[in-house]
Amino acid sequence: MMRPTLAQNYPRTGFPLEVSTPLGQGRVNQLGGVFINGRPLPNHIRHKIVEMAHHGVRPCVISRQLRVSHGCVSKILCRYQETGSIRPGAIGGSKPKGAPAEVEKRMEEFKRDNPVGSISRLMRCKFGGKMEEEEEEEDDEDMEKKESEENERRTKHSIEGILGDRSKYPWHGSVSLPSSFNGASSSWRIDALRLRLMASKRRGH
């Protein structure tokens, strides 16, 4: 798919309006929402997106209401369909160089026995021990704790700090997976391909 040059997107700074917060981290998207480039949306926003979708609110409405780009709404909902989790993936770090042989063997066996769908989801069911929703709820509390700790530690990097008033988003609770949710998207796999391409370019191939 074609894409305009970055200069078209972000003529001057390489990004849209920067929000003049004391933190100097926030940026404003086209919908007027505040975001931190490279950082996940706050958990309660992600929750809200999923819940609204669950209630039949259309993605475009969610996008406008929460002032989150529709691409992001789409991504979050697709991820939710795929994994059953609203949480962002683990950012940063490196994968272990190699899984222990036993683990690899088990994964192979598991793949053979379950030749469909997302292995990760199956793995979660098999080894995670908890049901998705239950896990999600507990994780939320955990996340909330972690978030506030995180905020104290480094408010500078938190969109919560920029958005400030969390009481604006009183919504909190568990979300059940709509049965109509089915299917998958592969949009973010492109990133992996892209990086591979970049790496091979760097190596001169």
Partner DNA sequence: GACGTAACGGTTGAG
Partner DNA sequence: GACTCAACCGTTACG
What does the binding site for DNA look like in residue numbers (CB under 7 A)?
A: 1-4, 6, 8-9, 14-16, 29-31, 33, 35-41, 46, 58-61, 68-72, 74-79, 88-97, 157, 185-188, 190-192, 194-195, 199
- How many angstroms separate the first and last alpha carbons of the chain? 23
- Which of helix, strand or coil describes residue 28? strand
Nearer to DNA, 18 or 138 (CB): 18
Shortest distance, CB of residue 94 to DNA, whole angstroms?
Answer: 4
Nearer to DNA, 78 or 119 (CB): 78
Nearer to DNA, 7 or 112 (CB): 7
Instruction: Compute the distance between CA of residue 200 and CA of residue 185 in angstroms, rounded to an integer.
Output: 25
Nearer to DNA, 1 or 112 (CB): 1
Instruction: Compute the distance between CA of residue 79 and CA of residue 67 in angstroms, rounded to an integer.
Output: 19
Shortest distance, CB of residue 138 to DNA, whole angstroms?
Answer: 19
Torsion of CA 156, 159, 165, 171, to 10 degrees: -140
Nearer to DNA, 10 or 134 (CB): 10
CA-only gyration radius of the chain, Å? 19
Whether the CB-CB separation of 109 and 71 falls below 8 Å is answered with no
Shortest distance, CB of residue 100 to DNA, whole angstroms?
Answer: 12
73-77-82 Cα angle (round to 5): 150
The one-letter amino acid code at 1 reads M
Shortest distance, CB of residue 182 to DNA, whole angstroms?
Answer: 11
Shortest distance, CB of residue 155 to DNA, whole angstroms?
Answer: 11
